[in-house]
């Protein structure tokens, strides 16, 4: 029979010897009482040390783990509203025709008259992510295009604004904030301007670079009460599409929100908040968002 370390551990621990190999028992009898006691103490010490290491690692993980309570507090004004949340998403050009496929032969297409409004797929990503947070908290929501949203809508509902330069409501709501969107008259150069340093152009994007598919994009995250409507507003808007996607990713990530709140004022949940994010876009896909500026008031 194979002798294992487990056989010796059973002997040292003083367990029932009935099932222990004879050789191990003989070895136990030859060792002597003092040596056995030392081994037993050694095993207990090693087990205790191992337990302390495990507990220490668990404590480290728990301490480093962002509080879900912080994430819930960030979204509390939105998810506890008695009124449904309004998603305001940019709508693009209206089309007068639509292409349909034959159910029996999908390769055959027919163009027919129709009227529809399109939504950029990159704006749908943050919409779906944030809607998931609302649904998990039992909050109702509705979706309206930028063109059909009115000031009355904003006064009646807490609002999530998605997109920047194709969403006039985002530009209006952020125009008076410290961090806001700006551009040249030719609409070829876009940037996020810091009212505390208007000449700064670090958070900028050239239209030509965006079309190449590899560029650094920037976005504004806003969480504030609009003084004109007295309603909470959430902004997830990038200069380009990659920034909007990154903003939506940030808003549903408890870890990243927890890191921002860790250095925020103690009463941050009762304050307005604005952040600037940076993301690297490669082949049209945005990388992880990074916070480059924060402002609480």
- Specify the DSSP element, H or E, that contains 54: helix 33-64
pLDDT of 194 strictly over 60: yes
For residue 77, how many other CB atoms are within 10 A of its CB?
Answer: 18
3-state helix, strand, coil in the chain (%, to 5): 40, 30, 30
Higher pLDDT, 26 or 77: 77
Q: Look at residues 252, 185, 181 and name the one whose alpha carbon lies nearest to residue 220.
A: 181
Please tell me the predicted confidence (pLDDT) of residue 198: 92
Average pLDDT in the 131-152 region? 95
Please tell me the predicted confidence (pLDDT) of residue 18: 42
Higher pLDDT, 102 or 138: 138
pLDDT of 55 strictly over 60: no
Quote the mean pLDDT of the chain: 82
Would the pTM count as exceeding 0.75? no
Per-residue pLDDT band for 16 (boundaries 50, 70, 90) equals very low
Average pLDDT in the 129-135 region? 96
Q: What is the pLDDT of residues 202-245, one digit of tens each?
A: 999 998 888 787 899 999 999 999 999 999 999 999 999 999 99
Could you give the 3-state DSSP secondary structure of residue 96?
A: strand
Could you give the 3-state DSSP secondary structure of residue 67?
A: coil
Q: What is the pLDDT of residues 234-278, one digit of tens each?
A: 999 999 999 999 999 999 999 999 999 999 999 999 999 999 999
Q: How far apart are CA 21 and CA 42, in angstroms?
A: 23
- CA 131, 134, 140, 142 torsion-angle sign: negative
Per-residue pLDDT band for 118 (boundaries 50, 70, 90) equals confident
Q: Look at residues 241, 123, 235, 240 and name the one whose alpha carbon lies nearest to residue 191.
A: 240
Please tell me the predicted confidence (pLDDT) of residue 131: 96
Higher pLDDT, 296 or 16: 296
CA–CA distance from 164 to each of 63, 171, 219 (Å)?
37, 6, 9
CA–CA distance from 15 to each of 19, 22, 63, 98, 146 (Å)?
10, 14, 39, 80, 75
Average pLDDT in the 122-132 region? 92
> For 224, what's the count of Cα atoms within 13 Å in the CB-facing half-sphere?
23
Please tell me the predicted confidence (pLDDT) of residue 41: 54
> To the nearest 10°, the Cα dihedral for 278, 282, 287, 290?
-20
Please tell me the predicted confidence (pLDDT) of residue 45: 54
Per-residue pLDDT band for 50 (boundaries 50, 70, 90) equals low
| Cβ atoms 271, 297 nearer than 8 A | yes
pLDDT of 11 strictly over 50: no
Higher pLDDT, 111 or 133: 133
> To the nearest 10°, the Cα dihedral for 77, 239, 203, 248?
40
Higher pLDDT, 56 or 209: 209
Average pLDDT in the 196-200 region? 93
Please tell me the predicted confidence (pLDDT) of residue 67: 58
The length of the chain in residues reads: 297
Please tell me the predicted confidence (pLDDT) of residue 39: 53
pLDDT of 291 strictly over 70: yes
**25 DSSP assignment:** H
Q: Report residue 66 as tokens.
A: 């962002």
Q: Report residue 130 as tokens.
A: 């944030």
Q: How far apart are CA 267 and CA 27, in angstroms?
A: 68
């Amino acid at each position: 029979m194979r002798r294992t370390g487990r056989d010796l551990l059973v002997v040292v621990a003083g367990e029932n010897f009935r099932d222990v190999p004879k050789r191990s028992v003989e070895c136990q009898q030859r060792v002597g009482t003092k040596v056995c006691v030392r081994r037993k103490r050694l095993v207990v010490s090693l087990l205790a040390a191992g337990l302390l290491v495990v507990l220490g690692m668990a404590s480290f993980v728990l301490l480093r783990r962002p509080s879900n309570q912080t994430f819930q507090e960030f979204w509390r004004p939105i998810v506890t509203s008695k009124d449904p949340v309004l998603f305001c998403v940019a709508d693009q050009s209206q089309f007068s025709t639509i292409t349909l496929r034959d159910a029996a032969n999908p390769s055959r297409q027919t163009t027919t008259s129709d009227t529809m409004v399109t939504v950029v797929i990159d704006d749908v990503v943050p919409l779906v992510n944030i809607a998931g947070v609302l649904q998990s908290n039992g909050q109702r929501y509705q979706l309206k295009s930028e063109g059909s949203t009115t000031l009355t809508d904003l006064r009646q509902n807490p609002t999530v604004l998605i997109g920047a330069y194709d969403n006039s409501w985002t530009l209006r709501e952020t125009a008076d904030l410290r961090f806001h969107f700006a551009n040249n008259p030719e609409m070829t150069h876009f940037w996020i301007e810091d009212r505390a340093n208007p000449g700064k152009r670090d958070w900028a994007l050239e239209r030509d670079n965006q079309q190449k598919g590899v560029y650094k994009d920037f976005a504004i995250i806003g969480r504030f009460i609009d003084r004109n409507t007295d309603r909470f507003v959430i902004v997830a808007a990038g200069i380009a599409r990659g920034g909007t996607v990154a903003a939506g990713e940030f808003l549903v990530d408890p870890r990243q929100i927890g890191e921002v709140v860790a250095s925020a004022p103690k009463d941050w949940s009762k304050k307005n908040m604005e952040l600037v994010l940076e993301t690297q876009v490669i082949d049209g896909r945005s990388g992880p968002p990074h916070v480059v500026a924060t402002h609480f008031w």
